[in-house]
C-alpha cells in the first residue's frame, strides 16, 4: 500500500464561529434547546423589571426628592450626595488633594500593570515607598502650607480606599514573613508565628477594630494617644496579615522539594533562595488566594463603621437618614454595591490576566 | 592510602570517614568509608533503598549525617552554615528530576548562582553560561523556559547550570532515570565528555555502559553499606560477593 501524507482540511463550517458555538452550547439536541428557551424566557421576565427600575423609569436629573417621579430609581439622591460619598467630611476647598492623590495612585498602578511600559522597578519603589509619603502629606496636610485636615473628617470612598490600599500593601509582606516564620526550622520563630497567626485568625475583625479603638488607649500612658484611623489601619493590617500568611504558606507547600534542593546545591543562601527561587513560583500559584484575601479585605473595610469611621457604606447610610432623602436607601445600597463591585471585579480580572502572563509552560494552567 | 586518619589529604577531592546516618530509627548509612581522588570518576550502583543517593547527597549536605566526617577539598563539612555554603560552591549536583527553576529562562537558570553566590558580573556570567550551553549542545535554547524543553534537554541544561559554578566535584543522582529511552544517550554523551575532560565525578546510575566506558571505580552498595568496589572490568567480570553477582545478573540480563 502506498503511503502519502494527507493534506490538513479546515473543519466543517457548522462547527466553528458563532453558529458553531450556539449549536454546541445552546442547541445541542432537543433537551438543550428547550432548556435554553425556557431559561432565556425566565431571564427576560425577571431581569426586565430590574432594568426598568434602574434605567427606563429612573430619574436622573434634579436637585430635590420632588424631582423624582417615584416609578423607578431616584438617582438624583446619589447625584446630589456624590461629593459626600467620595470625600466624606473633608473640607470642600481641599478635596483636590484627594483627587490628586487618587490620580497619582491610579497612574502608578496603571504604569505597573501595563506590560509595555519600562522601568517597572523604580516605579514600584516610587509607588510603595515615595507615594505613601506624598499621599500622607496631601491627605493630612500640615506641611508646605497645606491646611491640616484631621482624620475624623476623612470619609466616604476616599477613606475606604485608604484603608484598603494600606491594608493590602502592608498585609502582603507581613504575611510572607509570617508564612516563612511558620515554616522555619527555628523553634522560637516558628512558635511565635504560629501563635500570632492562630490568635489573629481566631478572632472576628469587629473585635479587633473594637479593641484597637477602645481597649488599646487604656494600655497607653496618660496623654499619649494616637490617631483612631491609624489604630484601625494597624488592626486591619495585623488581622489580614494572619490570613495572608496562611495563603502564602499554602503556596510555599506546593513548591516541590527539588526546587529547595537545587537552590541549596547551588550554594544560594536562605534569603536568596526564598526571594529568587521559591517565592516567585509560590506567589504565582497563590495569586487566586491572595486576590481573594485582597477582595475580602476591601469589603471588610466597611466594618470600621463600628468604631465611628465613616467609610463609603457608612456615609451612604448617614445620607439616607437625612430627612430630605428618607426612603432612598435602596438607591444608596445599589450604588455602594456597584462601587465595591467595580473595584473588586477589577482586581479579579487583573489577577486572571497576571496568571496567564506569568505562565511559563510548566505545571497545570 | 597509608596516611594517618586525622590528616587531610590534598590529593583527595572527597573523603568520607566512618559515615553514619539515621532516618529516625532507621540506619541508612553504616560506617561508610570512601576516598575519591581528584579527577577520579566513580559510579555507584545498588538496589533501590541501598543508601546510594543518600550518600552522595550527604556530600553537599542536602542530607545531614549524624556520625563520621566528610571532607570536601580539604574542608570539613560541619553544621557551620558558612562552611556548608563554601562546600556547595565547589560541588555541583545534577538531580534525577532536573530541578530547573521553571520561572526562569535557561540562561537565567545558568547565571543566577554565579551572579549571586560567586558575585561574578552579569556579562561574564552570561558568557560562561553560553560557553557551557554550547558544550551541552543547546545554546539556541537559552531564551526558552525549562517547560518548553524535552527531558533530555532539561537535564543537559541542569548539567550546564552546575558547570557554570565551576565546581571541582560533580555529583550525579540518577541523572538518566527519569528520561525517555531515546533521550538517555544525549545526556550520557555529555557526561562522558565531561569525564574525559578530567572532572571529578560521583555518579549514582544504573547505566552500566557508562560505568564501563568512563568509571575508574565502581562501587556497589546494599542496605547502607559499601559491599564491593573495584575497577569496572573486574567488577563486571569477576564480582566477588554473591549479592553483587545477583544484582548484576538482574540488571544485565533482562
d(CA A123, CA A141): 24
- What pLDDT shows up at residue A257? 92
Q: Is the pLDDT of residue A364 over 70?
A: no
State the pLDDT confidence band at B131, using cuts at 50, 70 and 90.
Answer: very high
Among B22, B20, B45, CA closest to B30: B20
Q: Which of B84, B116, B153 to mutate to test the interface with A (most CBs of A within 10 A)?
A: B116
Residues of A in contact with B58 (CB under 8 A): none
Q: Is the pLDDT of residue A106 over 90?
A: no
Could you say which DSSP state residue B199 is in? -
- Chain A CB within 8 Å of residue B116 CB: yes
- Chain A CB within 8 Å of residue B93 CB: yes
State the pLDDT confidence band at A362, using cuts at 50, 70 and 90.
Answer: low
- What pLDDT shows up at residue B78? 83
Give start and end residues of each alpha helix (H) in B97-253: 106-116, 122-135, 151-163, 181-196, 208-214, 232-237, 242-252
Instruction: Round the average pLDDT of chain B to a whole number and report it.
Output: 89
C-alpha distances (whole Å) from A79 to each of A62, A88, A279, A337, B81 are 9, 15, 46, 16, 65
d(CA A273, CA B99): 14
Domain borders along chain A are 150-358
d(CA A44, CA B143): 53
pLDDT tens for residues A254-313?
Answer: 999 999 999 999 999 999 999 999 999 998 888 888 888 899 888 888 888 888 888 888
Question: Mean pLDDT, to the nearest integer, of B106-129?
Answer: 94
Q: Indicate the length of chain B as a whole number.
A: 254
C-alpha cell at B171: 555529583
- Percent of chain A exceeding pLDDT 90 equals 20
- What pLDDT shows up at residue A78? 78
- What pLDDT shows up at residue A26? 82
SS (H, E, C) chain A: CCCCCCCCCCCCHHHCHHHHHHHHHCCCHHHHHHHHHHHHHHHHHHHHHHHHHHHHCCECCCCCHHHCCCCCCECHHHHHHHHHHHHCCCCHHHHHHHHHHHHHHHHHHHHHHCCCCCCHHHHHHHHHHHHHHHHHHHHHCCCCCCCCCCHHHCEHHHHHHHHHHHHHHHHHHHHHHHHHHHCCCCHHHHHHHHHHHHHHHCCCHHHHHHHHHHHHHHHCCCCCCCCHHHHHHHHHHHHHHHHHHHHHHHHHHCCCHHHHHHHHHCCCCHHHHHHHHHHHHHHHHHHHHHHHHHHHHHHHHHHHHHHCCEEHHHHHHHHHCCHHHCCCHHHHHHHHHHHHHHHHHHHHHHHHHHHHHCCCCCCCC
Tell me if B101 and A272 make a contact (CB, 8 A cut-off). Answer: no
d(CA A172, CA A244): 6
Residue appearing with cell numbers 427606563 = A56
The distance in angstroms from the start CA to the end CA of chain A is: 43
Instruction: Round the average pLDDT of chain A to a whole number and report it.
Output: 84
- Percent of chain B exceeding pLDDT 90 equals 66
C-alpha distances (whole Å) from A129 to each of A108, A121, A134, A241 are 12, 12, 9, 19
Identify whether the C-beta of residue A171 lies closer than 8 Å to the C-beta of residue A297: yes
- What pLDDT shows up at residue B1? 41
More confident residue, A239 or A137: A239
Identify whether the C-beta of residue A269 lies closer than 8 Å to the C-beta of residue B85: yes
State the pLDDT confidence band at B254, using cuts at 50, 70 and 90.
Answer: low
Q: Return the number of CB contacts < 8 Å for A and B.
A: 73
State the pLDDT confidence band at B2, using cuts at 50, 70 and 90.
Answer: very low
Q: Is the pLDDT of residue A225 over 70?
A: no
- What pLDDT shows up at residue B7? 54
Residues of B in contact with A284 (CB under 8 A): 103
- What pLDDT shows up at residue A1? 66
d(CA A99, CA A93): 12
pLDDT tens for residues A177-210?
Answer: 999 999 988 999 999 999 999 999 899 988 888 8
Residue of A nearest to B84 (CA): A267
| Region of poorest pLDDT, from A112-126, A314-328, B3-17, B21-35 | B3-17
Among B236, B238, B226, B251, CA closest to B16: B226
Tell me if A280 and B103 make a contact (CB, 8 A cut-off). Answer: yes
Question: Mean pLDDT, to the nearest integer, of A163-175?
Answer: 90
C-alpha distances (whole Å) from B83 to each of B63, B78, B94, B119, B180 are 15, 7, 21, 18, 38
Residues A15-26 as b or e (16 or more Cβ within 10 Å = b): eeeeeeeeeeee
d(CA A67, CA A59): 8
- Residue A324 backbone class (left: φ over 0; alpha: ψ -120 to 50; beta: rest): alpha
Half-sphere exposure of B230 (CA within 13 A, CB side): 13
Question: Mean pLDDT, to the nearest integer, of B192-201?
Answer: 91
Residues A192-223 as b or e (16 or more Cβ within 10 Å = b): ebeebbeebeeeebeebbbebbeebeeeeeee
Among B108, B64, B70, CA closest to B90: B70
Tell me if B99 and A259 make a contact (CB, 8 A cut-off). Answer: yes
Q: Is the pLDDT of residue A120 over 50?
A: yes
Residue of B nearest to A258 (CA): B99
Which of A258, A268, A281 lies nearest to residue B99, judging by beta carbons?
A258
Identify whether the C-beta of residue A157 lies closer than 8 Å to the C-beta of residue A339: yes
- What pLDDT shows up at residue A4? 80
Which of A265, A276, A281 lies nearest to residue B88, judging by beta carbons?
A265
Residue of B nearest to A268 (CA): B117
State the pLDDT confidence band at A224, using cuts at 50, 70 and 90.
Answer: low
For residue B224, with 0-12 CB atoms within 10 Å meaning exposed, 13-18 middle and 19 or more buried, which class applies?
A: buried
Residues of A in contact with B103 (CB under 8 A): 280-281, 284, 358, 360, 362
- What pLDDT shows up at residue A249? 92
Tell me if B95 and A262 make a contact (CB, 8 A cut-off). Answer: yes
CA dihedral A184, A186, A192, A197 (to 10 degrees): 10
pLDDT tens for residues A32-89?
Answer: 888 889 999 999 889 888 888 888 777 777 777 777 777 777 787 777 778 888 888 8
Residues A68-105 as b or e (16 or more Cβ within 10 Å = b): beeebbbbbbbebbeebbbbbbbeeebbebbeebbebb
Question: Mean pLDDT, to the nearest integer, of A7-22?
Answer: 79
C-alpha cell at A128: 510603595
d(CA A312, CA A154): 11
Identify whether the C-beta of residue A232 lies closer than 8 Å to the C-beta of residue A212: yes
Tell me if A280 and B60 make a contact (CB, 8 A cut-off). Answer: no
pTM above 0.90, yes or no: no
Residue of A nearest to B145 (CA): A360
Distance from CA of A98 to the nearest CA of B (A): 39
pLDDT tens for residues A133-142?
Answer: 888 888 877 7
C-alpha cell at A86: 467620595
Tell me if B116 and A272 make a contact (CB, 8 A cut-off). Answer: yes
For residue B169, with 0-12 CB atoms within 10 Å meaning exposed, 13-18 middle and 19 or more buried, which class applies?
A: buried
Out of 1.10.3720.10, 3.90.1280.10, 3.40.1280.10, 3.30.565.10, the CATH code matching A150-358 is 1.10.3720.10
Q: Give the 3-state secondary structure of residue B217.
A: strand
- What pLDDT shows up at residue A75? 81
Residue appearing with cell numbers 522560637 = A188
Tell me if B62 and A264 make a contact (CB, 8 A cut-off). Answer: yes
Amino acid at each position: 500500500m502506498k503511503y502519502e501524507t494527507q493534506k490538513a482540511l479546515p473543519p466543517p463550517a457548522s462547527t466553528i464561529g458563532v453558529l458553531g458555538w450556539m449549536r454546541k452550547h445552546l442547541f445541542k439536541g432537543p433537551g438543550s434547546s428547550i432548556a435554553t428557551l425556557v431559561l432565556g424566557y425566565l431571564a427576560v421576565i425577571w431581569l426586565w423589571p430590574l432594568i426598568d427600575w434602574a434605567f427606563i423609569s429612573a430619574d436622573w436629573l434634579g436637585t430635590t426628592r420632588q424631582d423624582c417621579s417615584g416609578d423607578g430609581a431616584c438617582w438624583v439622591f446619589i447625584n446630589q450626595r456624590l461629593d459626600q460619598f467620595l470625600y466624606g467630611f473633608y473640607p470642600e476647598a481641599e478635596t483636590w488633594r484627594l483627587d490628586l492623590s487618587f490620580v497619582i495612585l491610579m497612574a502608578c498602578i496603571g504604569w505597573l500593570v501595563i506590560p509595555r511600559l519600562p522601568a517597572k522597578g523604580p516605579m514600584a519603589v516610587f509607588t510603595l515607598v515615595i507615594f505613601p509619603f506624598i499621599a500622607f502629606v496631601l491627605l493630612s496636610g500640615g506641611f508646605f502650607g497645606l491646611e491640616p485636615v484631621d482624620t475624623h473628617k476623612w470619609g466616604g470612598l476616599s477613606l475606604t480606599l485608604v484603608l484598603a490600599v494600606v491594608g493590602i500593601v502592608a498585609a502582603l509582606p507581613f504575611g510572607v514573613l509570617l508564612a516563612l516564620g511558620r515554616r522555619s526550622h527555628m523553634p522560637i520563630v516558628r512558635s511565635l508565628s504560629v501563635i500570632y497567626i492562630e490568635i489573629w485568625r481566631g478572632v472576628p475583625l469587629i473585635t479587633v477594630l473594637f479593641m484597637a479603638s477602645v481597649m488599646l488607649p487604656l494600655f497607653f500612658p496618660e496623654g499619649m494617644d494616637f490617631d483612631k484611623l491609624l489604630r484601625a489601619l494597624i488592626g486591619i493590617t495585623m488581622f489580614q496579615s494572619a490570613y495572608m500568611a496562611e495563603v502564602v504558606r499554602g503556596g510555599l507547600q506546593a513548591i516541590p522539594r527539588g526546587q529547595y534542593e537545587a537552590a541549596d546545591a547551588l550554594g544560594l543562601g536562605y534569603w536568596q533562595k526564598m526571594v529568587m527561587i521559591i517565592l516567585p513560583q509560590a506567589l504565582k500559584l497563590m495569586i487566586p488566594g491572595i486576590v481573594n484575601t485582597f477582595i475580602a479585605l476591601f469589603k471588610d473595610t466597611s466594618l470600621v463603621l463600628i468604631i465611628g469611621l465613616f467609610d463609603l457604606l457608612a456615609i451612604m447610610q448617614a445620607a439616607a437618614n437625612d430627612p430630605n432623602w428618607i426612603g432612598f436607601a435602596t438607591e444608596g445600597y445599589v450604588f455602594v454595591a456597584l462601587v465595591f463591585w467595580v473595584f473588586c471585579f477589577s482586581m479579579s480580572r487583573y489577577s486572571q490576566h497576571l496568571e496567564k502572563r506569568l505562565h511559563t509552560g510548566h505545571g497545570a494552567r | 592510602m597509608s596516611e594517618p586518619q586525622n590528616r587531610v589529604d590534598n590529593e583527595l577531592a572527597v573523603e568520607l570517614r566512618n559515615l553514619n546516618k539515621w532516618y529516625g530509627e532507621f540506619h541508612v548509612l553504616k560506617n561508610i568509608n570512601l576516598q575519591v581522588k581528584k579527577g577520579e570518576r566513580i559510579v555507584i550502583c545498588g538496589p533501590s533503598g541501598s543508601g546510594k543517593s543518600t550518600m552522595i547527597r550527604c556530600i553537599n549536605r542536602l542530607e545531614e549525617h549524624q556520625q563520621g566526617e566528610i571532607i570536601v577539598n580539604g574542608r570539613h563539612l560541619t553544621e557551620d552554615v558558612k562552611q556548608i555554603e563554601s562546600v556547595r560552591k565547589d560541588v555541583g549536583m545534577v538531580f534525577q528530576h532536573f530541578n530547573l527553576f521553571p520561572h526562569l529562562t535557561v540562561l537565567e537558570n545558568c547565571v543566577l548562582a554565579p551572579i549571586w553566590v560567586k558575585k561574578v558580573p552579569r556579562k561574564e556570567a552570561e558568557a560562561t553560561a553560553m560557553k557551557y550551553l554550547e558544550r551541552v549542545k543547546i545554546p539556541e535554547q537559552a531564551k526558552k523556559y525549562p517547560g518548553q524543553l524535552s527531558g533530555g534537554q532539561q537535564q543537559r541544561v541542569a548539567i550546564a547550570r552546575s558547570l557554570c559554578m565551576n565546581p571541582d566535584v560533580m555529583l550525579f543522582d540518577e541523572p538518566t532515570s527519569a528520561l525517555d529511552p531515546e533521550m538517555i544517550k544525549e545526556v550520557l554523551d555529555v557526561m562522558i565528555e565531561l569525564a574525559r575532560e578530567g572532572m571529578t565525578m560521583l555518579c549514582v546510575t544504573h547505566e552500566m555502559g557508562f560505568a564501563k566506558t568512563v568509571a575508574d571505580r565502581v562501587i556497589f552498595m546494599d542496605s547502607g553499606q559499601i559491599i564491593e568496589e573495584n575497577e569496572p572490568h573486574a567488577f563486571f567480570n569477576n564480582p566477588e560477593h554473591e549479592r553483587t553477582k545477583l544484582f548484576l545478573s538482574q540488571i544485565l540480563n533482562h
